[in-house]
Structure 1
Amino acid sequence: MDSYQEMVRPWFKPKKSLKWVGKSVNVLKMSTAILTFLLIWEAAPRLNLVNPVFLPPFSFVLIGAWELIINGQMFAHVSASLSRSISGFFIAITLAIPIGLVIGWSKRLSLWINPLLELFRNTAALAVLPVFILLLGIGETSKVAVVSYACFFPILISTVSAVRHVDPLLIKAGQSLALSRLRLFQKVILPAAIPSIFVGLRLAAAASILVLVAAEMIGAKAGLGYLIISSQHSFQIPYMYAGILTISILGLVVNGVLVQIEQRLLHWK
């Protein structure tokens, strides 16, 4: 008996097994609503509850998506959209986080610049798209610029709020250790603000895709937005829905990547 237990013990770990089972059950529960939605989507056009011309069965959409993958169009459109979204997103990060840290740390600067920020923050990114097109042309630069504009303010606001709402007890603890103002910012303020900053990053990542798709419907020759609008005009409805589903999947993937990065960076939480 002892030898059997010693042989089994290295690979049999009840706690890890139960944890894996629990995760599988949670995934199954979360997938139920999506599967139900897809089944209704498949059945409704076939039962003529909706017009199948305007809402084809889900299986037809999958066939259309497969055709786009086989002929290479899907890869071309996805890569074009991702390159624009990622470029605009990282430009926004490099600008918004440093500015947000400075504004959140300096009350005088915050009082001076906050009205201007509120003015621009409440101006929709698509409303200023014509301005970017006039100034930067109808090419790639204007699309990257509008994505940067849309991503900038969620990151900026979350960064400012994160710095301002750091636990006062942490600040007092740092001050009691005679930390200088710079060291207090580096050792206390910045680490405590990172979780809230990631909330802004996730919001900005979603905005980067949504705003770009709308921008690509105007004067673009590639991208998921162009795929959707051109499919609608040519009445290739399955292709249109395939593009919409691809956007949803991309959004989920990007959010999942950011969540994993956050968990690795903030394992101490």
Structure 2
Amino acid sequence: MLRIVGRTAWRFGKPFIAIALFLAVWEIAPRVGLVDQIFLPPFSTVAQAFVELVRNGQMWEHVSASLGRSLSGFALAVVIGVPVGIAIAWFRPVADFLGPILELFRNTAALALLPVFILILGIGETSKVALVVYAGFFPIMLNTITGVRTADPLLVKSAVSLGLSPIKLYWKVILPSAVPSIFTGLRMGASGAILVLIAAEMVGARAGLGYLITAAQQNFQIPDMYAGIIAIALVGLIFNGVLVTVERRLSRWRNTSSR
């Protein structure tokens, strides 16, 4: 019994041990002079700045601004990217028609188009949300294409032989089998969209985590700058955790069918 408890504790504790070691190095390195405390304060100093930003409400103001932009842009990317990916994967004329233009834009970095988005859509919220949509669209679309095209052909043939209509074929067979690949695209799109949004907020914004980091750096409030970076990491972890949880719930049929 103790051995089982020990193994379980070790399995769940390993990631926290690595994080604790990293934070310990961060705390000790500036204090013993390995790095300059002015440019890399100890973790305890950054944690105090983080708590103070939370206490005075500034952190929530910036986090909520970034979350609003990222969630709305990411939702639009999902609504557009998944259907387009399914259409390209399943209908050859659609792939032939959209393939060249999508390939052209896929190889154009989102941040390279930031000035274009600002010129066309203005420096307000619309340009930032549109940039998030652009950054998230391509990973979602490409992984949806991969998931649909790699659906088990035996399952598809069996479903067709049973007389399933095209709509039911998509809903009952193709989409469930493509869920892991689609969610890989969602996770990649979410991380890329957050990074692009933070960069956009550094250029033209009055609120958001990107703005917080830039303003803190310009005002030489270095602990606040690192607190903003930690907030970005936490937001990314939460995003990823939510997507992983949803994927597991939608993929439960795989575990039951493999027993």
TM-score by length of 1: 0.90
Q: Percent identity?
A: 56
In structure 2, the partner of 1:79 is 64
2:210 pairs with 204, 207, 225, which one? Answer: 225
**Does the CA contact (< 8 Å) of 2:135 and 2:193 recur in 1?**
yes
Q: Give me the whole-angstrom Cα distance separating, in 1, the residues matched to 2:2 and 2:170.
A: 43
Greater alpha carbon shift after TM alignment, 46-55 vs 20-29: 20-29
Partner of 1:32: 17
Once residues 161 and 3 of structure 2 are traced to their aligned partners in structure 1, the CA distance between those partners, rounded to angstroms, is 45
Whether 2:253 is the aligned partner of 1:268: answer yes
Distance 2:172 2:40 in 1: 55
Instruction: State the distance in 2 between where 1:27 and 1:239 align.
Output: 31
Change (3 A) 1:155 1:45: same
Amino acid at match of 2:214: I
Moved over 2 A (4+): 16-25, 178-187
How many Å apart are 1:25 and its aligned residue? 2.2
What's the CA shift string for 1:30-65, capped at 9, x where partnerless? 111111111011001000111110001000000111
> What is aligned with 1:123?
108
Structure 1 counterpart of 2:257:
none
Aligned to 2:146: 161
Q: For this pair of structures, how many residues does the alignment match?
A: 254
8 Å CA contact 2:77–2:136 kept in 1: the answer is yes
3-state secondary structure, aligned to 2:253: coil
Deviations 1:116-141 (A, max 9, x none): 11111111111111111011110111
Aligned counterpart, 1:202? 187
Aligned mates of 1:28, 1:200 — CA distance in 2: 28
Match of 2:117 in 1: 132
Unaligned runs of 5+ in 1: 1-15
Cα offset for 1:98?
A: 1.0
Larger-gyration structure (1/2):
1
Alignment-mate amino acid for residue 56 of structure 2: N
Give the match for residue 77 of structure 2: 92
Alpha carbons 2:213, 2:229 under 8 Å: kept: yes
User: CA 1:108 to 1:20, structure 2 compared with 1: closer, same or farther past 3 Å?
Assistant: farther
Structure-2-length-normalised TM-score: 0.93
Residues 47 and 263 from structure 1, CA distance in 2 versus in 1: closer, same or farther, beyond 3 angstroms? same
Counterpart AA for 1:108: P
Give matches, 1:37-52, under 5 Å: 37-52=22-37
CA 1:76 to 1:202, structure 2 compared with 1: closer, same or farther past 3 Å?
Answer: same
Match for residue 11 of structure 1?
none
Q: Separation in 2 of the partners of 1:242 and 1:115? A: 43
1:179, 1:17 → 2: CA distance? 53
Q: What does residue 176 of structure 1 align with?
A: 161
Q: Matched residue of 2:157: which SS? A: helix
Write the distance in 2 (CA, Å) between the matches of 1:95 and 1:23: 42
Q: Does the 8 Å contact 2:140/2:185 carry over to 1?
A: yes
Query: Which sits farther off after the overlay, 95-104 or 168-177?
Result: 168-177
**Match of 2:201, as an amino acid?**
E
Q: Deviations over 1:171-228 (max 9, x none)?
A: 1212332334443233221221122111111111111211110000011000000000
